Amino acid sequence: MEKEKIRELKSLIASRLTRPMRYYLDTCTRCGLCYDTCHAYYGIPKKEYSPVGRAEVVRRAVKKHFRPSGRLFPYWGDATALDERVMDEMKEAAFSCTGCRRCMMYCPFGIDMPYILGIAKVLLIGYGNAPEELVMLADAAVEKGKSIDEFKEGFLSVIGDMELEVQKRLGLPSADGLIPMEKKNADVLFVGLSGAHSIIHPAVIFNAAKENWTLSFFEAVNFGMFAGDPEKMQFIADRVVNEAKALGVKEVVIVECGTAYRIPKFLLGPLPFKVTSIVEKIHQYLAENRIRMKDGAIAEPLTYHDPCQLGRNAGVFDEPREILARLASDYREMSPTREYNWCCGGGGGLVALDNEEFRIKSGKAKKDQIDATGAKIVVSACENCILQLNTIKDGYGLDVEVRSLSELVAERLAV
């Protein structure tokens, strides 16, 4: 690797050496308690797929370039200089981790391993070796943000078909205005995904609740976050923030996507509107009797998979369970559950990569959890989780149906 490139990468490391980062890097004793907490290590028991094994790749490079002992005595502590081989190891480490933070729940020092891997991701961006799929999707989202007016006509042309589906579901006399766009001073701005299913089910629910709402032109998913590019992450998130400000909405409701919810909820600082997940909004509508469901409509045994970014990292645990307890007469909890629930293996952008064999193996913990419940329906509230749960289902031949929570609610409204 050329000296200039090494200097450039070292400056990227330096930019990430905050006090929390130094604490995490210096405190880890390599005790190994995190090994058995990682779903990837559960399915592929190799050190490089353990939390501490991944963090060691970063720690060795930091030691070599930022610690006197690493520069003077590199073999004492395995200090490793940045080179092509190390960058390959960084990529394997960063993109075999979903950022679920389950390991953090068991670490005696609460070390945030995904935070450490943020160094690996920013180095990969600087080196030009980040996953091409994630970079391309992030670039597309940035381009849409720069020239949204050129995208509006195409987007609006498909809204009519979705409105007809909403009309059909609710038995309404007209489809006009069932998915409002660019509505000033609406109470709610809903941010969906690129698929029609992510808009139609919430639209059914919003109309049933007689919500004063409007739909965002943007998709909620943030591939800048998945790629580990802070600038693109901020730009992609700001698209929705600026749209919400321009419309003067009171609340932004995020589609079933854990990372898309966590970014505006916790990572952007104070915002002039409330941020809510669609799961919380459905729960609110039920509590206020603004919508009614066919209680007990599902007789088959059903279980719920907590999306890591919505559950463990955002605290939304009770709302989905209380909704499903009304819908299903045979609700079965996974074990372990809530903040200790196993990650499915699809988060962190991994589900968008060409890595299906890895994801099937690293999904074994989730497969075993589902098997143990005996459930025939697995519900989740995150698009990445739904995709990964289906990969696990097909990979292991599970006799289960995978459904999204808002889909189940929209299909079983008492209208």
pLDDT at 68: 81
Judge whether residue 14 has pLDDT over 70: yes
pLDDT at 77: 66
Cis bond before residue 307 (omega within 30° of 0): no
Query: What DSSP letter does each residue of 333-402 carry, written as one string?
Result: --SS-GGGPPP-S-TTTGGGSS-HHHHHHHTHHHHHHHHHHT-SEEEES-HHHHHHHHHHHHHHT---EE
Cβ atoms 16, 9 nearer than 8 A: no
The mean predicted confidence, pLDDT, of the chain is 96
| CA separation for the pair 28, 251 (Å, rounded) | 41
| CA separation for the pair 246, 328 (Å, rounded) | 41
Rounded to 5 degrees, what angle do the CA atoms 74, 108, 316 make?
A: 120
Q: Give residues with Cβ within 8 angstroms of 415, minimum separation 6.
A: 170, 171, 208
From the list 225, 202, 252, the residue with the least C-alpha distance to 410 is 202
Query: Exposed, middle or buried, 320 (CB in 10 Å: 0-12/13-18/19+)?
Result: buried
Average pLDDT over residues 44-64: 96
Q: Give residues with Cβ within 8 angstroms of 287, minimum separation 6.
A: none
Q: pLDDT tens digits, residue range 309-327?
A: 999 999 999 999 999 999 9
Residue indicated by tokens 């469901």? 293
Residues in the chain: 415
From the list 389, 305, 391, 382, the residue with the least C-alpha distance to 342 is 305
The two structure tokens encoding residue 316: 């939304």
Query: Exposed, middle or buried, 26 (CB in 10 Å: 0-12/13-18/19+)?
Result: exposed
Per-residue pLDDT band for 147 (boundaries 50, 70, 90) equals: very high
| CA separation for the pair 119, 111 (Å, rounded) | 15
Q: pLDDT tens digits, residue range 83-97?
A: 999 999 999 999 999
Q: Give residues with Cβ within 8 angstroms of 276, minimum separation 6.
A: 251, 252, 253, 254, 284
How far is CA 206 from each of CA 56, 197, 253, rounded to the nearest angstrom?
Answer: 48, 14, 11
Q: pLDDT tens digits, residue range 233-275?
A: 999 999 999 999 999 999 999 999 999 999 999 999 999 999 9
Three-class SS state of 169: helix
Per-residue pLDDT band for 1 (boundaries 50, 70, 90) equals: confident
Judge whether residue 124 has pLDDT over 70: yes
Three-class SS state of 299: coil
Average pLDDT over residues 119-124: 97
How many Å is the Cα radius of gyration of the chain? 22
What are the strands, taking DSSP E only, across 163-242? 188-191, 213-215
Q: pLDDT tens digits, residue range 148-185?
A: 999 999 999 999 999 999 999 999 999 999 999 999 99
Three-class SS state of 209: coil
Q: What percent of the chain has pLDDT over 70?
A: 99
Per-residue pLDDT band for 67 (boundaries 50, 70, 90) equals: confident
In degrees and rounded to multiples of 5, residue 42 shows phi and psi of -60, -45
The two structure tokens encoding residue 199: 């808009």
Judge whether residue 6 has pLDDT over 70: yes
Q: What percent of the chain has pLDDT over 90?
A: 94
pLDDT at 165: 97
Task: Tally DSSP H helices, then E strands, for the chain.
Answer: 20, 8
| CA separation for the pair 165, 178 (Å, rounded) | 10
Cβ atoms 308, 343 nearer than 8 A: yes
